[in-house]
Amino acid sequence: MDAGDDTERGVRAPLRPKGHGPETPLDDSLQVPLLNDKECTGNKAPAVVLGFECLESTAFNGISTNLVMYLETVLHGSNLASASNVTMWFGTSYLTPIFGAIIADAFWGNYNTILVSLTIYLLGMILVTFSAFLPTATVLAGSSMFSAQTVAFVGLYLVAIGSGGVRSSLLPFGAEQFDDDNAVDRESKMSFFSWFYLCVDFGPIVSGLFIVWIQQKVSWGLGFGIATACIALGFGAFVLATPMYKRPMPAGKVPADAGTLYEVSDKADTISEPGLKEISEEEGPWRNLCAVMRGEELKILLRLLPIWATSVIVSSAYTQMNTTFIQQGNAMNTLILSVQVPAASMGSFEVVCVLTWVLLYSKVIVPALKGCGFSFGVNGEPSQLQRMGAGRLLMAVAMAVSALVEMKRLDSAARGEEITIAWQIPQYFFLAGAEVFCYIAQLEFFYAEAPDTMKSMCTSLALLTIALGSYLSSFIYAIVAAFTATAGSPGWISDNLNEGHLDYFFWAMAAMCTLNFFLYSVFAKNYKFKSQDTVLMT
């Protein structure tokens, strides 16, 4: 191997410790010895990650999309208890990525974290599926550790734990497959984040149009079984593709010296076992886990926090798609061109709108901005911060449109008429635009700006905003009920929407999102990028 190859692949670059773990190839510079085709690694490994995400998203949504109906109709839970259980489970599912990220960054690395999490994930899916064939506690005339309720909830929380580990590590793992020193890989890496988000949206479409129908019309067990088969297939494919991956070595072992590098098959470099020295327990993963206390890493995290906090507000508005939007749709005429469209099915339309916005961005919006003389930075496209700002503004627009639609609906209801649910299409369209601009750019931004030892942790912060946004939305509901539901008034959000003022609620959300946009603009304008630091992380 000549010196040029060494430079391109970073073989002689300084090596950084990462955490205890098996002897896996070091950083992006080293590959599995049996794999000699570098191009294969750069191209096919990200494709495997994207394919796996399609299956994982289908599996998770195959359970979550219709979970509240399963708890009510099969497990005989009350409406309030079922809704509460679903909310708690969703919150847990989006909190666990934080713990998965800590484990990945400080101990196991992304690859090993994904493998262990998938094992827990698959076990949970099997238990949830199995619960559909068991008698309920009601049938057993009491509680039982083998009742459907018990097995289902054990399975659900195993799924929450396993899916959290996968979410925290899969995106950073996919990004690791690209070589930042290669111009083609750098360009492919940027599109990878967009493709990854599209794969996340693949699951809701399949589950909403196919798995949900099977669960309600054929069998809950079969519907859950299909979701379980998806995660099992993804697990098998992920493991079989192992020789393609670049797997950064977790901290805990570092080369004794540069001379321990040697060549295998004249193509791949690795590190010989004798050349590795164990770092003591005090200097190993705990040092990485506490690295946030080091000055530069702490500065980076503190700079990220204001941007991250505004994302929580965006997520609280986004959750209206699963709550107040559906309530509003149920109070409308659900016929569109003589086709019955349940209010909950509009969520599938929102996913289609997401795909539309992605195409509009690359094919229409960016060329139009360039044609109008707007000048941007890298590649002539809006920066991550600019895109996130546009998403926050679009979210305010979506809430305002929702308020206008509700005003139209209330006016028609006062005349004894119903408007068609098609009036909701614009608000779902703008909501999808906010999702595309906020969340895709957010994933890129947090990964790029994260300290080197906390890539998975900071990526999982983007997921945490969804959990906190859901909790914030519930808090807002409580505040609205406390101040608007009095003895003589049912409140803004009443059981009969014709007696309430859901439009006032949407206007309040629009105002909150607008204020959030202006606050974000101040934070973004003064944000100092990691690349501007005078002291670089090593």
Beta bridge partners, 253, equal 278
**From the centroid of its chain, how far is CA 197?**
8
pLDDT grade, residue 305 (50/70/90)? confident
Residue 506 reports pLDDT greater than 90 = yes
Beta bridge partners, 270, equal 262
Q: How far apart are the C-alpha atoms of 177 and 173, rounded to whole Å?
A: 7
The token duo for 149 is 């309720």
Give me the long-range contacts of 370-376 (CB less than 8 A, separation at least 24). none
Compare 211 and 20 and report the one with higher pLDDT: 211
Beta bridge partners, 255, equal 276
Question: Are the C-beta atoms of residues 325 and 426 closer than 8 Å to each other?
Answer: no
Q: Which of 31-35, 41-45, 400-404 has the lowest mean pLDDT?
A: 31-35
Say what the pLDDT of residue 427 is. Answer: 93
Which of the listed ranges 39-53, 136-150, 177-191, 219-233 does the model predict with the highest average pLDDT? 219-233
Query: Which secondary-structure segment (H or E) carries 23?
Result: none
pLDDT grade, residue 453 (50/70/90)? low
Question: Are the C-beta atoms of residues 109 and 101 closer than 8 Å to each other?
Answer: no
Question: Are the C-beta atoms of residues 510 and 403 closer than 8 Å to each other?
Answer: yes
Say what the pLDDT of residue 16 is. Answer: 32
Say what the pLDDT of residue 350 is. Answer: 83
Q: How large is the average pLDDT for residues 356-378?
A: 78
Q: What is the number of alpha carbons within 13 Å of residue 190 lying toward its C-beta?
A: 12
Distances (CA, A) of 474 to 10, 83, 88, 285, 362: 49, 12, 11, 37, 36
pLDDT digits (tens, 9 = 90+) for 111-136: 889 999 999 999 999 999 999 888 76
Residue 254 reports pLDDT greater than 50 = no
Percent of the chain surpassing pLDDT 70: 72
DSSP string, 249-289: PPTTEEES-GGGEEEETTTEEEE-GGGEEEPPTTTTHHHHH
Q: How far apart are the C-alpha atoms of 64 and 88, rounded to whole Å?
A: 12
Compare 247 and 353 and report the one with higher pLDDT: 353
Give the mean pLDDT of the chain. Answer: 75
Say what the pLDDT of residue 83 is. Answer: 57
Residue 269 reports pLDDT greater than 90 = no
| Residue 405 amino acid letter | V
pTM of the model: 0.64
Q: Give the domains, in start order, of the chain with CATH numbers.
A: 43-249 (1.20.1250.20), 303-530 (1.20.1250.20)
The helix-helix angle for 79-103 and 148-176 (nearest 10°) equals 40
pLDDT digits (tens, 9 = 90+) for 46-68: 888 899 999 999 999 888 877 76
Q: How large is the average pLDDT for residues 85-105?
A: 79
383, 389, 391, 395: CA torsion to nearest 10 = 180
Q: How large is the average pLDDT for residues 245-274?
A: 46
Q: How far apart are the C-alpha atoms of 88 and 455, rounded to whole Å?
A: 27
Nearest Cα to Cα of residue 43 among 245, 194, 264: 245
Q: What is the number of alpha carbons within 13 Å of residue 297 lying toward its C-beta?
A: 16
Beta bridge partners, 264, equal 268
pLDDT digits (tens, 9 = 90+) for 157-213: 999 999 988 988 888 888 778 776 777 777 777 778 778 877 887 888 887 778 877
Q: How far apart are the C-alpha atoms of 301 and 521, rounded to whole Å?
A: 19
Q: How large is the average pLDDT for residues 296-323?
A: 81
Q: How large is the average pLDDT for residues 294-300?
A: 67
pLDDT grade, residue 436 (50/70/90)? confident
Classify each residue of 82-110 as buried b or exposed e, where b means 16 or more C-beta atoms within 10 Å of its C-beta: beebbeebbbbbbbbbbebbbbbbbbbbb
The token duo for 21 is 């773990």
Q: Which of 79-83, 228-232, 306-310, 510-514 has the lowest mean pLDDT?
A: 79-83
Residue 77 reports pLDDT greater than 80 = no
| Residue 438 amino acid letter | C
Q: Which of 18-27, 182-191, 303-312 has the lowest mean pLDDT?
A: 18-27
Say what the pLDDT of residue 504 is. Answer: 92
Coil, helix or strand at residue 336 = strand
Compare 208 and 253 and report the one with higher pLDDT: 208
Which of the listed ranges 33-47, 82-96, 307-321 does the model predict with the highest average pLDDT? 307-321
Say what the pLDDT of residue 393 is. Answer: 94
Q: Which of 132-146, 161-175, 521-535 has the lowest mean pLDDT?
A: 132-146
Residue 145 reports pLDDT greater than 60 = no
Question: Are the C-beta atoms of residues 44 and 244 closer than 8 Å to each other?
Answer: yes
Nearest Cα to Cα of residue 138 among 224, 183, 76: 76
Residue 319 reports pLDDT greater than 70 = yes
Q: Residues, the chain, total?
A: 538
